[in-house]
Structure 1
């Protein structure tokens, strides 16, 4: 389905600080119904097209793909390039941001299956001296399920203003540097494993463990263990390459313009950083199918992949089923929709790009999407919720 060019007029906007991650506000869920009892509604092409067409003016392009036994749908909206108004390529590549975490978690679990990593061992066993000496033992498992208690980077550590992002978009920050900056801040809670709070530092450390154990970059391990075996030709895990290969929609950030208003700066090319994978909707769909069908992990690690810790979620407002409880497992998030359907997946964002992948546990329906917001970190939970509802709960999403 071809993209519809839209005129872009940018006035004054509330430009929020960019973030490395996106947490969606969960759609209101029904209570205590087993996912086995819930039937996914029929594929609703009209609801899906309406969802992607509802993108706000601060988003220049949207692409989405829905797959499963009931059929396949793909659609685009907006423009790939605001200067030429070229249509959005349905097979276009986009930056993954924190969806990279799912790939990192998969590699760590593969190393566990190979008896090279023990999830119960503390980080300090594998990376002596990386964490402050007064830290308690932090089990590797807690890195993957966001219960590690490690602090996060703040706006004092890296530029977050639109101008700062533009000026420093090619800067390189190695993993040890990011971790060293983060651990200067207070930990959000005392006991590892007792509370869940979403963040990035735990995955910086998990990637460092991959590199320590294998002697190679975590990007190379992802490439050799996942991308090549699954034949994902349009997915890359660059280390410092700033380019975007192949067809793609451009990413932009709005910066204040002289005399008021805003102007768009193309930030498609940027240092990939720790969440810098690039992929397509088709490749991410293939990855989901392979991961959930057990091709990448043996049964014990598959169990770990879907184990959500029974602990409180710090913040609570976006917790699963609205019960203030954890909803992340090892690199995945669990979302229960208003019609009782439960989906698993991951969202991600980096400057200029926001994306996500979700599927029912049985792979009966799968959604992959990407859009290009101009508001820094791209955190638009309303649009994400509309996309997920249209794919898995169209009746609920239309109310």
Structure 2
């Protein structure tokens, strides 16, 4: 199928809408499908967290001996296997067990410029890991109690007939809060392109979501991936600090780690610096499709921007204990011993929970009788961009990647699997 670029409306009208905050476009939920993998100036914190002195050992599996030798050919072959509905791919492997960077495809379908190695991209649901980190910092500062119900802090956010919903359940996907549906926001390609600069406050998204039935009624009893819990967590950050969650991420994480190419925009719909464009295939009346450039869009929830190097630095600092004290690192990496709603033997938990607080635990298949490598990470998608970050608990091998699907977010699980497999298995 041949795609032709089409002209979309200028961003000027969006920028002229008073620079008011464009909040929480429902992009965090786009990454749900990719969860299924193989098998103003702010004041300083009132009580800074105390960093751990050593890397965290997160899981008994995936010792150094189980890591295969880095295979650049397999990695390049994996990213080059991207289907025609993906316009560009960027991937990076780092750590003492080997380094590699590769690209494939084009950054711009008109100019045919190659994908830049240092290209920026939208993070989508990888933003959840940053929100979880900020929430756990607030817990370490005794500004939030993870055992307290959400209703204690945000009394008018959830319906009155909801049971007490502990803050912890927001972070580890066991809250049982319902999700937005395709009827709640624009969902067709044409509507997405036309409304991609629309404003949707977090409170509006939560209010729409809780009109639906809950997937289960007892918070903490099961796990299921979703976005609504993190909309509420972001609202909680704002209630506790008096600042937007984007400001808190910037102050607490991006500035201390000198992540100059990583941003948490509140209003700016552009991607600064070098980047691959994001596209969405829009059907034509003749049955074909044409590409709409959706690079510029409402940043909202999931609108963070970074590079593979920036995500790698964040992941390294997180697992070295620079962002969270030991107790909160344990919280981050604690997977509830609960069933996963609708889970099966084919998902990472084999029917059981596999998410901690904003990170998933995945053990890849073994080889020649040896156990497979266990990694921790997160995937994310928004329109035009799908990305992820993964690491072994000892940080010996870290993977960050992004690719540009034209079919929306979360639709290329096979490509994600191939990239991860090439990085961590023989």
- Identify the TM-score tier after normalising by the shorter chain: over 0.9
Q: CA deviation digits over 1:222-275, x for unaligned, max 9?
A: 000000000000000011211110000000000011312000000000001211
* CA pair 300-195 structure 1, distance change in 2 beyond 3 A: same
Aligned with 1:94 (options 121, 125, 140): 121
Report deviation, 1:33.
Answer: 8.1
8 Å Cα contact 1:320-1:326 kept in structure 2: no
Deviates more, 1:256-265 or 1:304-313: 256-265
Q: Which residue of structure 2 lines up, in the alignment, with residue 238 of structure 1?
A: 265
Output aligned runs, 1:74-223, within 5 Å.
74-223=101-250
- CA distance in 1 between counterparts of 2:64 and 2:243 reads 45
Q: Which residue of structure 2 lines up, in the alignment, with residue 5 of structure 1?
A: none
Aligned with 2:30 (options 13, 20, 32): 20
Report deviation, 1:379.
Answer: 2.1
- CA distance in 2 between counterparts of 1:254 and 1:34 reads 41
Determine if the alignment matches structure 1 residue 382 to structure 2 residue 414: yes
| Structure 1 segments unaligned to the other structure (5+ residues) | 1-7, 12-16
Aligned with 2:378 (options 339, 342, 346): 346
User: RMSD value over aligned CA atoms?
Assistant: 1.7
- CA distance in 2 between counterparts of 1:95 and 1:51 reads 22
* CA pair 150-318 structure 1, distance change in 2 beyond 3 A: farther
- CA distance in 2 between counterparts of 1:370 and 1:43 reads 19
8 Å Cα contact 2:319-2:393 kept in structure 1: yes
Q: Which residue of structure 2 lines up, in the alignment, with residue 227 of structure 1?
A: 254
Q: Which residue of structure 2 lines up, in the alignment, with residue 4 of structure 1?
A: none
- CA distance in 2 between counterparts of 1:195 and 1:129 reads 25
* CA pair 60-236 structure 1, distance change in 2 beyond 3 A: same
- CA distance in 2 between counterparts of 1:142 and 1:261 reads 44
Determine if the alignment matches structure 1 residue 357 to structure 2 residue 389: yes
Q: CA deviation digits over 1:325-360, x for unaligned, max 9?
A: 000000000111012100000000000000000000
Aligned with 1:40 (options 58, 61, 67): 67
- CA distance in 2 between counterparts of 1:171 and 1:321 reads 35
* CA pair 169-318 structure 1, distance change in 2 beyond 3 A: farther
Q: What secondary structure sits across from 2:30 in the alignment? A: coil
Determine if the alignment matches structure 1 residue 70 to structure 2 residue 97: yes
Q: What secondary structure sits across from 1:163 in the alignment? A: helix
Q: What secondary structure sits across from 1:274 in the alignment? A: coil
Q: Which residue of structure 2 lines up, in the alignment, with residue 9 of structure 1?
A: 2
Q: TM-score, normalised by structure 2?
A: 0.86
Deviates more, 1:37-46 or 1:339-348: 37-46
- CA distance in 2 between counterparts of 1:35 and 1:363 reads 11
- CA distance in 2 between counterparts of 1:94 and 1:313 reads 31
* CA pair 166-74 structure 1, distance change in 2 beyond 3 A: same
Report deviation, 1:135.
Answer: 0.2
* CA pair 350-242 structure 1, distance change in 2 beyond 3 A: same
- CA distance in 1 between counterparts of 2:229 and 2:160 reads 17
Determine if the alignment matches structure 1 residue 330 to structure 2 residue 357: yes
- CA distance in 2 between counterparts of 1:358 and 1:223 reads 22
Q: CA deviation digits over 1:170-219, x for unaligned, max 9?
A: 00111111101100101100100000000000000000110000000000
Report deviation, 1:289.
Answer: 0.2
- CA distance in 2 between counterparts of 1:352 and 1:321 reads 26
* CA pair 74-278 structure 1, distance change in 2 beyond 3 A: same
- CA distance in 2 between counterparts of 1:301 and 1:380 reads 33
Q: CA deviation digits over 1:267-306, x for unaligned, max 9?
A: 0000012111000000000000000110000000000010
8 Å Cα contact 1:26-1:337 kept in structure 2: no
Deviant stretches of 4+, over 4 Å: 318-322
Q: CA deviation digits over 1:1-41, x for unaligned, max 9?
A: xxxxxxx7249xxxxx985224243323xxx9833375210
Q: Which residue of structure 2 lines up, in the alignment, with residue 270 of structure 1?
A: 297
Report deviation, 1:71.
Answer: 2.3
| Structure 2 segments unaligned to the other structure (5+ residues) | 5-25, 40-58, 367-371
Q: Which residue of structure 1 lines up, in the alignment, with residue 403 of structure 2?
A: 371
8 Å Cα contact 2:37-2:348 kept in structure 1: yes
| Number of residue pairs aligned between Structure 1 and Structure 2 | 379
